[in-house]
Amino acid sequence: MSYELKSARYLAREVILQTVLPGDAAVDATMGNGHDTLMLCEAVGPAGRVYAFDVQAQAVAETAKRLAAQGVTDQARLIHAGHEHMAEYVKEPVRAVMFNLGWLPGGDHGVTTRWETTRQAVECALDLLAPMGVLVICAYPGHAEGEREERELTAFLSGLSNRQFNVLHQRFLNAGEGAPECFVIQKQN
């Protein structure tokens, strides 16, 4: 079998699955329809904890149904609040934090993540990361706010100390305008 370069979401998932161990704590900063929350619950196992955030009640309800169907609700804490409130709910070091920016798939495209709150949440996530933990962000620059978030994230993450963090920015150069991009940040100490 040979390795295949795939999407930003694929890279995000691979990084998470290589990092998160049973018993860890993790955060899904944008729960959406619950796919990432479910993956994190499976990765941390029954002894772990997943904190998942979303501002939309529809996202919380869909995620709750998805987790219940897979029998992993015990390790998840679904929080109907913006990810900028992460520090109010998460009081322990985490192995991984995931962001999937943009809008809720199948939801109102007028409701999107915004740089101001995303920045607050990213700063909090960096503080919460355990040593060798990862922060993974999928950005979608195919709409105005997504383009702004990608641009601001690039500038913000470029300024992080290379003694504290390793920062990777993955994008497919030939995928066309607005293709999803992935940022991976690993805390060194």
Beta strands of 88-152 (E only): which ranges?
Answer: 94-100, 129-139
For residue 113, tell me if it sits in a domain: yes
For residue 110, tell me if it sits in a domain: yes
For residue 83, tell me if it sits in a domain: yes
For residue 115, tell me if it sits in a domain: yes
Q: What is the CATH number of the domain that holds 147?
A: 3.40.50.150
For residue 2, tell me if it sits in a domain: no
For residue 1, tell me if it sits in a domain: no
- What average pLDDT does the chain have? 93
Tell me the pLDDT tens digit for each residue of 66-125: 999 999 999 999 999 999 999 999 999 999 999 999 865 766 677 788 899 999 999 999
pTM above 0.75, yes or no: yes
For residue 153, tell me if it sits in a domain: yes
For residue 17, tell me if it sits in a domain: yes
CA distance 123 to 103: 21
Q: What is the predicted pLDDT for the residue at 1?
A: 65
Domain count, the chain: 1
Q: Which domain holds residue 73?
A: 8-187
